[in-house]
Amino acid sequence: MRVIRAETAGFCLGVSLALQRLEREHALSGKLGGRLITLGPVIHNPLLMAHYTQSGVICDDAPRDLRPGDRVLIRAHGIPREVEAALRESGATIADATCPKVKKARSAIGRAHAAGSMLLLFGEPDHPEVRGLLSYAGPSAQVFADPEELRSLPLDPQADYFLAAQTTQSRAQFSRAGQEAARRLGREIPALDTICDATGARQREVSELCAEVASLVVVGGFNSGNTKRLAETAAAAGVFAVHVESPADFRPEDLRRIRASGSPVGLSAGASTPVEQIDAVQTFLEAAV
């Protein structure tokens, strides 16, 4: 079976920078003899993160027993403002791998909140980036995971609101959220442009690919929001979408359905998926389907 691979599949700039930082900090802590602790997974790729934890890097969401000589690395998704402040007060040596685009989104949200508006954030409530973004907008901020949820959020028609989105959300869905907010409040409200181009480019290419294929495989961490969104984009286009981390995740019925379609299979990957992981799935599909 022919595989059509998306050109944008794989690492974005923010992930590349974060991994370079992780590599540098790992080498440095090895040389200096201290521990390297990451505040949660640096990127959402369990296979790649397992490689680092097996070589001594500690992954901990809330380290309590920091020792002199420890280095703490902040993940690409960023961390809540108060967690970062407490960390800096602890005296730990901190390295920051927060993606520059996440930092830009946080600053824009912080400025709009300081000007007196209340945030309506389109994002996954439990995602670490979302927790970080919310921390820049005070207690009045509200989060919704789907434009439909905006219908039931408590909104005050007299208050000032602004919209923003988790960097990896879909532009089309965010635009629907804007329409729903305008319907609820009887007026349009400002929307910050916080969605990352890297995410948009991957989603656009998947949409284009869906015109050529009946099934599409997306490779990436099951905990990766942008990877999940690519599979959702394909499914919304009426294409059979399969999300895997490695060839071992294919179910026999997935392969049967891909084979039965008789068309080439599309292949894309999330922004935190290394090229070797994509190559492995491509080789498997070419041989197995």
Give catalytic residues, as residue numbers. 129
- Based on the shown chain and the rule CB under 6 A, indicate whether residue 99 belongs to the binding site for ligand SF4: yes
Of 76 and 216, which has the nearer Cβ to ligand SF4? 76
Amino acid at 256: R
Specify the long-range contacts of residues 126-131, CB closer than 8 Å, at least 24 apart. Answer: 127/77, 127/166, 127/225, 128/40, 128/75, 128/77, 128/78, 128/79, 129/77, 129/78, 129/102, 129/166, 129/167, 129/168, 129/225, 130/166, 131/79, 131/80
| φ/ψ of residue 5, rounded to 5 | -95, 130
DSSP secondary structure, 55-94, as one string: TT-EE-SS-----TT-EEEE-TT---HHHHHHHHHTT-EE
The correct pick among 6, 9, 12, 278 for binding ligand SF4 (CB under 6 A) is 12
Contact pattern for ligand SF4 over residues 45 through 84, marking x by CB under 6 A? -------------------------------x--------
Among 164, 198, 217, 289, binds ligand SF4 (CB under 6 A): 198
Which C-beta is closer to ligand SF4: that of 74 or that of 99?
99
Sheet holding 118-122, edge to edge: 142-144, 118-122, 161-165
Q: Which region among 19-27, 94-102, 131-139, 173-181 touches ligand SF4 (by CB under 6 A)?
A: 94-102
Could you tell me the smallest distance in angstroms from the CB atom of residue 128 to ligand SF4? Answer: 12
Q: How far is the CB of 76 from ligand SF4 (least distance, A)?
A: 5
CB under 8 Å to 175, separation ≥6 — which residues? none
Smallest distance, ligand SF4 to C-beta of residue 31, A: 28
Cβ closer to ligand SF4: 34 or 80? 80
Among 6, 120, 134, 196, binds ligand SF4 (CB under 6 A): 196
- Within a 10 A sphere around the Cβ of 19, how many other Cβ atoms? 20
- For ligand SF4, give the closer residue by CB, 26 or 44: 44
What SS3 state is found at 161?
A: strand
Nearer to ligand SF4, 226 or 282 (CB): 226
Binding residues for ligand SF4 (CB under 6 A) = 12-15, 76, 99, 101-102, 167-168, 196, 198-199, 226, 271
